[in-house]
């Protein structure tokens, strides 16, 4: 592993751009089949993109938030769905580091390219039994589950009387789950974010932790672990989700800029969009909107990385601002995507246009619960007055 973070980051982004055309060539197939093509999954493995947030002791690259953010933005230029799947794999891999060491050995030991999925919603129940728990439930929106090896599922633990007594996070091999084909959407179609279903699956105790442990930030000051494992995982995942959306907007901007010299503006006399000062000025405004979105993402990533390196806690006030940052970034990116559709013209909506694909994918990704702009603003605004958290886990 490179010790120079900046050098490794540039190398990884360069790898993405080198093999990006392979991802782009699979977009149509991914849309039809509602899953990533095998060739795209092979690129993920070739570039070691599922190792970014895996510990070095398991062969991982052990990178930081800013690095995965840059990789996600680059991937979005070629296939937003691939970017979203890579985002979810690495975030889930990081969440898995909260489990006991023997569980981590079981997951990461056999293959450094192991891929995890995770579903935050407590959509199942777990009942204690000898040596573990029996897990039952239905978990929607399991991104990448068709290509993953393990999944982290959240469930309510039921007591002897059948009443909930707490929350649990459970590690389950994908080979032991049923995947229901439920992902029918207008965007991000190739993520294959289908539904996981279980009925009384036995999960051994070493692969079960409490919800409090899963959400804990107790490792933030632990100097015996590397900076990656000191990172506030949930906040980091939110930053990468927003990075995917920002990358989509950047890709759409590049598409409009590339074609502007050869496109006219109907019904005006302009035969080249670049001859219109209105077009140029509007494009400048939209470009600045996208730049602002990226600045929010970068600020959030840098706060998390700096705290991890220094082995200090990120204050709740900062975590609230990070949720505001990622929400604002996603919102700005979707505003920019709308503006780019106007600038490029009605041809943007042709099925053959990359722009409509970016527009659909970006708008779907931006609606992820972590990026809700109304909640993000409420969290950040509430920090100024010491109001109670409206999101229990930041």
We report the CATH number of the domain holding residue 196 as 2.40.110.10
Instruction: Determine which helix (DSSP H) or strand (DSSP E) holds 332, and give its type and residue range.
Output: helix 316-344
| Predicted confidence (pLDDT) per residue in 11-34, tens digit | 999 999 999 999 999 999 999 999
The pLDDT of 101-109, averaged and rounded, is 97
Question: Of 171, 102, 101, which is closest to residue 135 (Cα–Cα)?
Answer: 171
Distance (Å, whole) CA 280 – CA 278: 6
For residue 353, being part of any structural domain is answered with: yes
Residue 284 resides in a domain? yes
Residue 149 shares a structural domain with residue 13: no
Residue 182: what pLDDT?
Answer: 97
43: domain CATH number is 1.10.540.10
Give the model's pLDDT for residue 179. Answer: 98
pLDDT band (50, 70, 90) for residue 158: very high
Instruction: Judge residue 73's burial from the number of C-beta atoms within 10 Å of its C-beta, 0-12 exposed, 13-18 middle, 19 or more buried.
Output: buried
| 201, containing H or E segment | strand 194-204
**Same structural domain, 237 and 351:** yes
The answer to whether residues 81 and 190 belong to one domain is: no
Identify the domain boundary among 78, 95, 111: 111
Q: What is the mean pLDDT of residues 164-182?
A: 97
The mean of the pLDDT values for the chain is 96
For the cut 90, the answer to whether the pLDDT of residue 2 exceeds it is: no
Q: Kindly give, in sequence order, each residue whose CB lies less than 8 Å from that of residue 121, ignoring residues fewer than 6 positions away.
A: 139, 140, 141, 154
Verify that 265 and 362 share a domain, yes or no: yes
Distance of CA 145 to the CA centre of its chain: 14
Residues 69/299, Cβ–Cβ less than 8 Å: no
103: pLDDT strictly greater than 50: yes
Residues 31 and 78 in one domain: yes
Q: Are residues 204 and 263 in the same domain?
A: no
Q: How far apart are CA 316 and CA 327, in angstroms?
A: 17
Co-location of 15 and 88 in the same domain = yes
Cα separation, 26 vs 45, whole angstroms? 16
Confidence check: pLDDT of 39 > 90: yes
Look up the pTM and report it.
0.96
Instruction: List, for residues 64-86, the tens digit of each pLDDT value.
Output: 999 999 999 999 999 999 999 99
Query: Which residues are CB-contacts of 374 (< 8 A; sequence separation ≥ 6)?
Result: 327
Residue 128 bridge partners (DSSP): 133
307-359 tens-digit pLDDT:
999 999 999 999 999 999 999 999 999 999 999 999 999 999 999 999 999 99
Q: Is residue 244 part of a domain?
A: yes
In a domain, 388, yes or no: no
| Same domain for 124 and 106 | no
For residue 198, what are the β-bridge partners?
A: 137
pLDDT of residue 394: 86
Question: From CA 178, how far away is CA 191, in angstroms rounded?
Answer: 17
What's 279's domain CATH number? 1.20.140.10
**Stretch 89-117: mean pLDDT:** 97
- In whole angstroms, what is the distance from residue 207 CA to residue 107 CA? 10
pLDDT of residue 67: 98
Last residue of a domain, which of 216, 250, 266?
216
Are residues 146 and 31 part of one domain?
no
Number of domains present in the structure of the chain: 3
Domain membership flag for residue 39: yes
pLDDT of 175 above 90: yes
Buried b (16+ CB within 10 A) or exposed e, 137-170: bebebbbbbbbbbbbbbbbbbbeeeeeeeebbbb
Same domain, 73 and 149: no
Residue 285 reports pLDDT greater than 50: yes
Same domain, 263 and 206: no
53, 76, 111 - which closes a domain: 111
What average pLDDT does range 233-245 have in this prediction?
98
Using only C-alpha atoms, the chain has a radius of gyration, in whole angstroms, of 21
| Predicted confidence band of residue 1 (pLDDT cuts 50, 70, 90) | very low
At residue 121 the predicted structure's pLDDT band, cuts being 50, 70 and 90, is confident
The C-alpha angle 290, 66, 294, rounded to 5 degrees, equals 10
Beta bridge partner(s), residue 136: 125, 199
Residues 212 and 238 in one domain: no
**Per-residue model confidence as pLDDT tens digits over 259-281:** 999 999 999 999 999 999 999 99
Domain of residue 57: give its range.
5-111
pLDDT at 107 over 60: yes
3 pLDDT above the threshold of 70: no
Residue 391 lies in a domain: no
């Amino acid at each position: 592993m490179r010790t120079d973070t900046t050098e490794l980051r540039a190398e990884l982004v360069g790898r993405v751009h080198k093999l990006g055309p392979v991802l782009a060539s699979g977009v149509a197939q991914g849309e039809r089949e509602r899953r990533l093509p095998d060739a795209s999954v092979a690129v993920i493995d070739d570039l070691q993109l599922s190792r970014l947030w895996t510990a070095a002791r398991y062969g991982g690259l052990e990178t930081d938030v800013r690095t995965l953010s840059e990789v996600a933005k680059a991937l979005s230029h070629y296939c937003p769905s691939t970017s979203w799947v890579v985002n979810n794999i690495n975030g889930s891999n990081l969440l898995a580091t909260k489990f006991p060491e023997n569980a981590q050995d079981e997951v990461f030991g056999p293959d450094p390219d192991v891929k995890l999925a995770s579903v935050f919603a407590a959509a199942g129940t777990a009942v204690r039994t000898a040596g573990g728990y029996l897990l039952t439930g239905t978990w929607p929106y399991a991104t990448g589950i068709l290509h993953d090896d393990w999944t982290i599922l959240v469930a309510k633990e039921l007591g002897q009387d059948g009443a909930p007594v707490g929350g649990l996070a459970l590690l389950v091999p994908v080979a032991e789950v049923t995947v229901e084909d439920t992902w029918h959407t207008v965007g991000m179609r190739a993520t294959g974010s289908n539904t996981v279903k279980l009925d009384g699956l036995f999960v051994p105790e070493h692969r079960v932790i409490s919800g409090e442990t899963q959400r804990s930030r107790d490792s933030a000051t632990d100097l015996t672990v590397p900076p990656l494992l000191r990172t506030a995982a949930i906040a980091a995942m939110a930053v990468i989700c927003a990075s995917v959306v920002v990358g989509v907007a950047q890709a759409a901007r590049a598409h409009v800029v590339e074609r502007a010299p050869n496109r006219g503006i109907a019904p005006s006399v302009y035969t080249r969009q670049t001859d219109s000062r209105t077009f140029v000025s509007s494009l400048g405004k939209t470009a600045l909107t996208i730049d602002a979105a990226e600045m929010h993402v970068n600020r959030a990533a840098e706060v998390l990385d700096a705290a991890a390196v220094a082995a200090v806690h990120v204050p709740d006030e900062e975590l609230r601002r990070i949720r505001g940052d990622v929400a604002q970034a996603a919102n700005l990116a979707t505003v920019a995507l709308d503006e780019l559709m106007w600038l490029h013209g009605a041809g943007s909506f042709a099925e053959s246009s990359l722009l409509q694909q970016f527009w659909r994918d970006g708008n779907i990704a931006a609606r992820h619960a972590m990026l809700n702009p109304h909640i993000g603003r409420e969290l950040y605004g509430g920090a100024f007055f010491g109001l109670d958290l409206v999101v229990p886990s930041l």
